[in-house]
Amino acid sequence: MTHVITALCLRDGACVDVCPVECIVGGKPENEWPWFFIDPNTCIDCGACVPECPYEAIFPLDEIPSSYELKPGQEVQPFRGERWTAAGGEVIDLTMAQGVDGYTAAQANADFYANGPGYQARNM
């Protein structure tokens, strides 16, 4: 199992330093990898990152809400597309990456390490 960063990530980086296995990396380049991402092969599911996220963007894999009601002013960063601000009451499926049909947030996190820059992004 792993924890997953979702489209509520606004890239403030607060989660990075608390991870005991250093498996959270900021996505670069930002237009291709707009969130921070968790390496599913290294995450030990300790949960330490969850309370650190001021935007409540991190969930255990099997607890990502598929019907998440946004609060007024809450911002969403789709995996592809412009960031937008909720009026409040909109319901989105956070299991999906947003902006790419059929692509899940879990896949986006895994792909960043399998097919993207992964840990190399720390040096970019």
Residues near ligand SF4 (CB under 6 A) are 3, 5, 9-15, 18-19, 21, 23-24, 36, 38, 43-49, 52-53, 55, 57-58
- Nearer of residues 47 and 88 to ligand SF4, judged by Cβ: 47
Phi, psi of 75 (to 5 degrees): -105, 145
Output the smallest distance, CB 16 to ligand SF4, in A: 7
Are 16 and 62 contacting, i.e. CB atoms less than 8 angstroms apart? no
3-state secondary structure of 68: strand
Instruction: Decide whether 63 or 82 has the Cβ nearer to ligand SF4.
Output: 63
Instruction: Label the pairing between strands 3-5 and 24-26.
Output: unpaired
Quote the CA–CA distance of 91 and 99 in Å, as a whole number.
15
**Amino acid identity, residue 49?**
C
Residue 4 or 101: the one with the smaller Cβ distance to ligand SF4 is: 4
Secondary element (H or E) of residue 76: strand 75-76
| Closer by beta carbon to ligand SF4, 73 or else 101 | 73
State the minimum distance, in angstroms, from the CB of residue 40 to ligand SF4. 9
DSSP letter at 71? P
Give least dist CB 79 to ligand SF4, A.
Answer: 13
Q: Residue 110 Cβ, how far from ligand SF4 at the closest point, in Å?
A: 13
